[in-house]
Structure 1
Amino acid sequence: MTALDTTPGAPGTTRAPRGASPLLRLRRVLVPVALLGLLALVGCLSLAVGSVALPLGEVVDAVLGARDTQAHLIVRDLRFPRTLAGLVAGAGLAVAGVLLQGATRNPLASPTLLGITSGAGFAVVVTVALLDMPATYAVVAAFAGGAVAATLAIGLASTGRDGLSPIRLAVSGALISLLLSAWTQGLLALNEANADEVRHWLAGSLAGRDAAAVPPLLPLFALGLLAAVLLARPLDALSLGDEAAVGLGQRPGRVRALASLTAVALAAVAVALAGPIAFLGLIVPHLARFLVGGRHLDVLIASVLLGPVVLLVADILGRVIARPTEIQAGVLTAMIGAPFLIRIAAKARVAG
């Protein structure tokens, strides 16, 4: 019996195994290279563009160590930390979306729609703003809050005769998110001292990030990416259906649990750094799947690069649209993601 090369389709679909076409194999190589170049370009723009525009030469000098200049203060103290946070948060949310869509076989699954970002944000507000605990506890609180919110959303969506349908999951996640958002606003009303700062963070923003906050989160972020890569083949098998996955030697329940925990961990890192960025984990996996096909390893590689691109572009646009003030990146991703969600939900309803 020979092994078959499977090329799964979008979440929620089952496609017959077949070999990848030469064009698809070429796309799997060229698209990541192009995205890497695009990410480098956007990263440079993130350091150069803002309320004070800097020539590229001054940016390079500031990065390489020219001190005691205005460019150094702007780049090293303000823009470099927010760019670094955007790289990690964008990649974390994008990979979390890939894992959740693969684990649930649901095109609407994402950290936002499962209530993970709202749960994580609520837990961080309770920990940092209400209990006045150190910010180092933020990622632990975000992980716990995201895990509880996702469990509630999936449990609520699983009730009833129809089972875990895409629409039910979206509605359940929206209900959990609304409930947690209301509780969050209530807590902020009781603690006005930290309300303004926390509300700015809850909108999803890279502004005011501290570069020192990123290194402690990198081990968990790296472990999450490694786990996602190891889960790629099991998720490919899961996309063919539970019976087929069992026949290929996989345990669907364990794969779903590991993928969900990894997604919550990555989303927790992102929320701790940038706040609840809306819809990024929904948009990027679909764009990546369009570019490189349905194999999860290819989608993960593309999403790791495309997620930071989308988040940093939103952050750059937010700096220049309303100068001298800024629009939070999370506001712009929500504006883009809402119509994207409606389109995917309509397609899922027709397919159902």
Structure 2
Amino acid sequence: MGLVVCLAVLGLCALLSVTVGAKPIAVADVWAALTDYRGTYDHDVIRTLRVPRTVLGVFVGAALGLAGALMQALTRNPLAEPGILGVNSGAAAAVVVAVFVFGAGGAALVWPAFAGAALAAVAVYALGSRGRSSATPVRLALAGTAVAAVLQGLVYGVIVLNDFVFDRIRFWQVGSLTGRDMEIFWQVAPFLVVGVMLTLSLGPSLNVVALGDELASTLGGRIGQVRVLSAVGVILLCGAATAAAGPIWFVGLVIPHLARLVTGPDQRWLLPYSAVLGAVLLTAADTVGRVVLPRSELEVGIITAFVGAPLFIALVRSRKMAKL
């Protein structure tokens, strides 16, 4: 029942996303634009601007929420979020290189961002599992922090020295759905779909892994396989989300804790709740960003930071946060 309520709230947020903006558009006009397109200004705004960013907001938010829940389950760390594998930093570094070397822009940044996110995550996993020891949660976290620091240094170094690169990626780097079209969505959609299906299928296995390595092995859990598949899921979800909308913080960090207040530690329910709540947060934040300033708008990454930071502080002060 709770999941149905969350889906209803998501539907309401999606409706507000296509009707609210610098120019409010009535629901009847929105429906007409979708079913009986006549080429008017309002219809063009709905079809070319608001529908694409709403669709992206739903899927990117769901991907980040799922990836955050997966990361916290994988590392057994309540402070974990998708950036712990260097995904955001890898995507940003690849985008900076693509712009600096090839002058890429727009939809052409999707593939470098995705490739950078995937390579960074693979590098972190390789460093975390170097030697005879397996990739433990602590080693993955340390390797991710080190790789992210190096990549962020590269990003800031190029941006400071090159005004063209800074101008080209400044809105992408802060996290934004503005100006995104359906072409970008269709490019990342296969990775999002596969990532969502893979992650949701890992729920029972993650419940076993949460018992600890020794007990999980005794119960027949394939710890190594689960960790590899979880890493693949994080790469697919975060890589696609970051490639489409840029690095957006706090969604993957806060949403799993909110979902856990409803579902408890059971990953079979925590994962779908995290997906729906992540979509709700991102679409709502994008809508608020359009109206909070009278003649402009704030990027969705800024809104999620304003909302996520105090919410996360409240969660940190709660004793329930540590109960993963």
- TM-score under structure 1 length normalisation: 0.80
What's the counterpart of residue 14 of structure 1? none
Which of these residues, 189, 207, 216, is aligned with residue 245 of structure 1?
216
Q: Does 1:232 align with 2:203?
A: yes
Aligned-pair distance for 1:348? Answer: 9.7
What's the counterpart of residue 263 of structure 2? 292
Q: Does 1:206 align with 2:177?
A: yes
Which of these residues, 310, 318, 334, is aligned with residue 281 of structure 2?
310
Distance in 2, Cα, partners of 1:297 & 1:269: 23
What does 1:153-168 align with in structure 2 at a 5 Å threshold? none
Q: Does 1:107 align with 2:78?
A: yes
Would the alpha carbon gap of residues 144 and 343 (structure 1) be closer, same or farther in structure 2, given more than 3 Å must change? farther
Which of these residues, 275, 300, 309, is aligned with residue 329 of structure 1?
300
Q: In structure 2, what residue type is equivalent to 1:223?
A: V
User: Is the contact between residue 117 and residue 271 of structure 1 (CA under 8 Å) also seen in structure 2?
Assistant: yes
What does 1:42-53 align with in structure 2 at a 5 Å threshold? 42-53=13-24
Structural RMSD (CA): 2.9
Distance in 2, Cα, partners of 1:141 & 1:343: 36
Q: In structure 1, what residue type is equivalent to 2:90?
A: G
Distance in 2, Cα, partners of 1:258 & 1:173: 17
What's the counterpart of residue 58 of structure 1? 29
Q: Which structure carries more helix by proportion?
A: 2
Aligned-pair distance for 1:124? Answer: 2.3
Distance in 2, Cα, partners of 1:77 & 1:34: 29
What's the counterpart of residue 222 of structure 1? 193
What's the counterpart of residue 237 of structure 2? 266
Where do 5+ consecutive residues of structure 1 fail to align? Answer: 1-29
Write the deviation string for residues 78-105 of structure 1: whole angstroms up to 9, x where unpaired: 1111111111111111111111111111
Write the deviation string for residues 123-178 of structure 1: whole angstroms up to 9, x where unpaired: 1232245333576664553344334544666788999xxx8559x94x87566545
User: Is the contact between residue 75 and residue 138 of structure 2 (CA under 8 Å) also seen in structure 1?
Assistant: no
Q: In structure 1, what residue type is equivalent to 2:298?
A: I
Q: Does 1:117 align with 2:117?
A: no
Aligned-pair distance for 1:192? Answer: 2.8
Would the alpha carbon gap of residues 277 and 229 (structure 1) be closer, same or farther in structure 2, given more than 3 Å must change? same
Q: Does 1:83 align with 2:57?
A: no
Distance in 2, Cα, partners of 1:38 & 1:80: 17
Aligned-pair distance for 1:247? Answer: 2.0
Distance in 1, Cα, partners of 2:321 & 2:191: 36
- Number of aligned pairs? 317
Write the deviation string for residues 192-232 of structure 1: whole angstroms up to 9, x where unpaired: 33532310111001000011111122111111111112211
Distance in 2, Cα, partners of 1:55 & 1:134: 34
Where do 5+ consecutive residues of structure 2 fail to align? Answer: 131-135
- TM-score under structure 2 length normalisation: 0.87
Percent of counterpart pairs with the same letter? 38
